Amino acid sequence: MLSLALAGKPNAGKSTFYTAATMAEVDVGNYPFTTIDANRGVSYARTECPCLNRDQRCDSDNCNDGKRYVPVELYDVAGLVPGAHEGRGLGNQFLDELTDADAILHVVDASGGTNEEGEPVEVGEHDPVEDIDFIEDEMDRWLASIIERNWETVERQSRSPDFDIDEALGEMLTGVGATEADIATVLRNIDYPTDPLGWTDELKRSLASDLRAQTKPLIVVANKADIASDGNIERLREAADIVIPTTADGELALRRGAEAGLVEYDPGDESVTISEEVSDQQREGLEQIQDVIDEWGGTGVQQALDAVVYDVLDQITAYPVENETKWTDSKGRMLPDAHLLPTGSTPLDLAYAVHSDIGEGYLHAVDAQEGRRISEDHELTEGDVIKIVSTAN
Ligand SMILES: Nc1nc2c(ncn2[C@@H]2O[C@H](COP(=O)(O)OP(=O)(O)OP(=O)(O)O)[C@@H](O)[C@H]2O)c(=O)[nH]1
Ligand SMILES: [Mg+2]
């Protein structure tokens, strides 16, 4: 499963985002370092279910009238302050927790109501644009310090006659969550000596930051958009590539309201239907959230998850089925599973994602929407419904 981490300054709203996105109970408080141990849970990316192309909607628990929710792992870690790589705040422990994240949702308090350390100040007093770069900088320094610590080992290995710099770096960097492909991509773009003694500190640092950019892509969640000035949001948008104005608090209220039957709302919807039963005060609160939704196209929570999964990590959703006409599994359930795969994936990749045995016994695949066989190296696209024929099924 893809793994997404919520990172950012203390008090930015990470745990609120996490609670809204997973509906798990965690501590939320208006003081720094409310969260100490990472919370891990399941959240979802939203897409259009292929059942919309049929007369009948599917019966998956993760589909609501064609709104399909595909599971991803989300985790909420302790707040990070400048200097974390040197152990400030809860420092290094937090950074280590990012090792297995595929991407990072950087939660920023766009209202400027918390200072550099995450302590509450007057709304607008702190400039959130100043918060944008420090996470990447902290991660770069953290990675650089790991590389520095392990460099001696690489130097020692280089005395052996069959030493290979790429192999040695590969071994070292897989430990911080990089794949062989990541390492190859990064090394292709820098010029470096084959003798580890010839590497300058600057070169090691640029290896660290290139690797971070490759393995930890990031978007900015401009949270507390309900109380942030439009000017702040605009300036954040100028300062980073992908910025999603968000009210995590608002999303949480809507999800709880939906659970209690007070509103009709599915995560990611652009409108909310408020029941007659709410109190005047509840109605006022809900209407304020609707204002944020109208202004930014959603509360931002679902939009941020979708942006990371589909735009940043470039995933597609594929639906394996056993029956290519009914789109069902062996138990007759229609479109029971959805798999996220990187763009460019093939039916064989999908087979392996379902189960390694299915992949190993792969014979051929059928595109169930088109009703025709497709080759092993055919490139899958978003929403493909695929029957895999394998010796293992
Ligand atoms: N106005 C507003 N307040 C919010 C929003 N999201 C979170 N908050 C408030 O911000 C404060 C901090 O929220 P948390 O979710 O605990 O923040 P955190 O980033 O997990 O903080 P640490 O665990 O201390 O790092 C709480 O008082 C939340 O109610 C939002 O969208 N709008
Ligand atoms: Mg927290």
Token look-up 């066989």 returns 373
Provide mean pLDDT across the span 84-98. 73
Residue 3 backbone zone (phi > 0: left; psi -120 to 50: alpha; other: beta): beta
pTM of the model: 0.93
Q: Is 271 exposed, middle or buried (0-12, 13-18, 19+ CB in 10 A)?
A: exposed
Which protein residues have a CB closer than 5 Å to ligand 2 (ion)? 14-15, 34-35
DSSP codes, 282-348: HHHHHHHHHHHHHHHTS-SHHHHHHIIIIIIS-EEEEEEESBTTTTB-TT--BS---EEEETT--HH
Inter-residue contact 300 to 237 (CB < 8 Å): no
Given a contact cutoff of 8 angstroms between Cβ atoms, the answer to whether 113 and 123 are in contact is yes
pLDDT digits (tens, 9 = 90+) for 272-308: 999 998 999 999 999 999 999 999 999 999 999 999 9
The ligand with the least distance to the CA atom of 16 is 1
- CB-count burial class (<10 Å; 0-12, 13-18, 19+) for 152: exposed
Tokens of 276: 């007659």
For 94-144, what is each residue's pLDDT tens digit? 677 788 899 999 999 999 999 999 999 999 999 999 999 888 898 899 889
* Cα of 27 from ligand 1 centre, angstroms: 10
> Of 26, 34, 122, which is best to mutate to test ligand 1, by the most ligand atoms within 8 angstroms of its C-beta?
34
331-370 pLDDT tens trace:
999 999 999 999 999 999 999 999 999 999 999 999 999 9
- CA-nearest of 8, 244, 221, 215 to 102 is 215
Distance 107 CA to ligand 1 centre (A): 10
Beta strand spans in the chain (E): 3-8, 39-48, 63-64, 67-76, 103-109, 218-223, 243-245, 263-264, 273-274, 315-321, 339-342, 362-367, 372-374, 384-390
Structural contact between residues 47 and 70, judged by C-beta atoms closer than 8 angstroms? yes
Q: What is the 3-state secondary structure (H, E, C) of 112-153?
A: CCECCCCCECCCCCCCHHHHCCHHHHHHHHHHHHHHHHHHHH
Query: What are 371's strand-pairing partners?
Result: none
